[in-house]
Amino acid sequence: MYISARERSILALLVGQEKALPIREIAKELEVSTRTIQRDLKGIESILEKFQLSLQREGSTLSIKGETERRVDIMSYIWSLEHEEYTPEERQVVLLAHLLRAVEPVKLYTLANELHVAVATVSADLQKAEKWLETFSLQLVKKRGYGVEVVGDEWMVRTALKKLISENLSEDYFYHLLSRDDSEPPTIVQEALSHLLYYVDVEVIKGVKQAISEWRQLVERRIVDSSYISLIIHVTLAVERIKAGERIELCRSQLEKMQEESEYALAQSLANKLSMILGMDIPEEEIGYFAMHIHALKWDEQKDEVLYGSDLVLAVQVKSLIEIIASKYHIHFEDQQLYKGLFAHMKPALYRIEHKMKIHNPLLAKIKEEYRELFEAVTSAAINVFKGINLPEEEIGFIVMHFGSAIELWRMKVNIRALVICSSGIGSSKLLASRLKKEFPEIAELHHASLFDLREEQIAQYDLVISTGPVPGRKDYIYVKPYLDYQEVEEIRRWLDSYIGKQRNLLEEFSKQQKELVPRYELNLFERLRDINQDVLTILQHFEARKLTEQTMEENLMSICAAYVQKGALHAAQDVVTSLLAREQSGGLAIPGTHLALFHTRHRDIKEPVFAVYELEEGMHRKGMDNQPTLVKRVLLLLAPEKMEEHRLLFISSISASIIENDASIHLYEYGEEAEIKAHLANQFKQYLQEMSSEG
């Protein structure tokens, strides 16, 4: 069955949509007239019938009706066709894929045959391809009699290939295709995957999928679906490049540093699975490459552990970001899910940025359109918070999704009733009410009335009153024009945000009172409270704030740890000191913008948690968490046993996070006396236990 390039484009637009699309939008997308689209519809209907689907025409809109499986079938079929013609966009994708995967120069006439176009057309297409490749620091080399080839770092070649696939591959369809039962006829699945991934061997994809599926069973944490698909594509491309003789290069020091991280062990186990299933050796550098990608994956129930230096800085940055957005929108985000969600996203995001690992955000255009103001606000806030780090729009888009969801939830929790009054009659009030409903979906009930029929008792029933004319005897209403201009929309938004904030506070207070009336008999809660309470007592018992007199940091730490051995908090001192200094060497422990350094570690020789403050006799310049030299006058010591239950570890993490919670806290740790700091800690611990008890 022959399907033209335009028919395929129309089908691709319609099949992926549940709602009807206006014909003019389809025509605009394909850069043709609406009449041209109308002419193609007869052929579209014939194609759909063969897949038990139908074309629905409602006025000037089009939609496809039928089961999801049939939609997947038709897209699989379309993708599997050997096309007689490509759209310009498809031609560009196939051209780039061909060039990126080639291991030697490709002649122009070979590309022309591949794309079913003239050599002159290929030459024109190469100009666009060259600009796209430049964004990955890749060069397109063209020489007469030599051909065309992509020159650049192998890392960036793979990044470009992955970007190309991610931008042109629907995760939903990819998931459906990978999840197909092997007993089904394989031709559609194999040909579709072959086309989607542009000549990657489908057997390699199946082998990689099997290896990752078996590997996932060994991993305690669960990867989110989008990261699962990303990992399959990432590893598949790596395997194909290894087979083609193209290898990733990592310097020995970088590789050795990776091998110390837990992600390398996960990458090693994945490489072992791949070796068994695909019958090939995975070089050491490629395992490091896998480890970097695993480090950047998103996991379900990602732990909020702020015990390491970089995490401490990130925790403060995330909180600052939330505060800036909260202030702009006059919202108080009490829900910890926003903080945890952003922290879980930003940790791998910063790792991706540091290692130039690009990410694809399929919803970016929609996010920028629907959350334009929020997108701009988050972009501006991110520049202030993450100084020196250029967050790409794709990452900003994901951050906006977190904030957008939190803001919508915050607004929807309050039930608002509004009355619209129009002096010009009930018809005008209906039109204005319709506009208000569209602009402010958080208004649960919206009624309209004429000013002449209005009674005082009616107005009293509503939270918000909006009128197009003066309301005699009343001051608490918003005066607007019938067409509602931009400034009036902003005024109503400010009123809603303020009102919702007040109502939320009342609801939370009521909820808190209700919780206090309900007895808790959950044994697990009491056990966790017991454990944390014991850690609180231990930390306060061991706490001290005194001066250090030794000449070097190592000598000071040795003296401190030896004293804690005598107190029974440590088994031995030397290995703990070595671990503390190694931690400083790898990441820096001085807190930027302060005279504090947080020396911290978890170690098998630590028996009980310890937190203490020490003042240096003379300030020392130490490596900061931002890798810059920082003058340190006080050392904060935080020690924890190597093996701790998650709830205890979260409590220990809260100590490090609270150190730089605000300016007052920083000032206290920089200049406070032992009694002041200990009282502050006791108060913090009391609050933590109260919140833990309240939340259950």
DSSP string, 423-475: TT-HHHHHHHHHHHHHH-TTEEEEEEEEGGG--HHHHTT-SEEEESS--TT--
At 4, list the tokens.
Answer: 């033209």
Least confident of 60-74, 123-137, 182-196, 318-332: 182-196
Instruction: Examine the pLDDT at 192 and tell me if it is beyond 50.
Output: no
Per-residue model confidence (pLDDT) at position 305: 44
At residue 376, the pLDDT reads 92
Structural fold of domain 309-412: PTS-regulatory domain, PRD (1.10.1790)
* Most confident listed range (19-33, 177-191, 420-434): 19-33
296-300, 369-373, 602-606: segment of lowest average pLDDT:
296-300
The pLDDT score that the predictor gives to residue 267 is 84
**Averaging pLDDT over each range in 92-106, 154-168, 190-204, 376-390, which range is the top one?**
376-390
Residue 613, pLDDT score: 95
pLDDT at position 520: 40
Q: What is the pLDDT of residue 196?
A: 45
**Confidence (pLDDT) at 188:** 36
Beta-carbon count within 10 A of 207 CB? 21
Element housing 298 (H / E):
none
Single-letter amino acid code for the residue at 219: V
Asked if 318 and 381 touch (Cβ cutoff 8 Å), the reply is no
d(CA 445, CA 159): 50
Lowest mean pLDDT: which of 31-45, 494-508, 636-650?
494-508
* pLDDT of 494 over the 80 cut: yes
Assigned architecture for domain 416-512: 3-Layer(aba) Sandwich (3.40)
Instruction: Give the pLDDT score at 190.
Output: 40
- Output the pLDDT for position 588: 82
A 10 A CB-CB count for 682 gives 14
Mean pLDDT of 27-38: 78
| Side-chain-side CA neighbours of residue 264 (13 Å) | 11
- The domain limits of the chain are 5-67, 90-295, 309-412, 416-512, 525-695
pLDDT of amino acid 564: 95
Confidence of residue 561 (pLDDT cuts 50, 70, 90): very high
* Domains 90-295 and 525-695 fall in the same CATH topology: no
CATH top class, domain 5-67: mainly alpha
Q: What angle do CA 401, 406, 501 make, to 5 degrees?
A: 145
378 pLDDT more than 90: yes
Q: What is the mean pLDDT of residues 108-135?
A: 84
Q: What is the DSSP string of 173-238?
A: HHHHHHTS-TTS-HHHHHHHHHHHTTS--HHHHHHHHHHHHHHHHH-SS-B-HHHHHHHHHHHHHH
- State yes or no: pLDDT of 393 exceeds 70: yes
Q: Residue 138: how many CB atoms within 10 A of its CB?
A: 19
Does the pLDDT of residue 71 top 50, yes or no?
Answer: yes
pLDDT reported for residue 511: 47
Tokens of 335: 């829900």
**For the chain, what's the residue count?**
696
CATH topology of domain 90-295: PTS-regulatory domain, PRD (1.10.1790)
Span 2-9, average pLDDT: 71
Q: Which CATH class is domain 525-695?
A: alpha beta
pLDDT digit string (tens) for 643-689?
A: 888 788 888 888 887 887 777 888 899 999 999 999 999 998 998 88
Which of 163-172, 363-372, 390-399: highest mean pLDDT? 390-399
Task: Mean pLDDT check: name the lowest of 283-287, 472-476, 671-675.
Answer: 472-476
DSSP state of 99: H
Determine the pLDDT at residue 515. Answer: 46
The pLDDT confidence band at residue 413, using thresholds 50, 70 and 90, is low
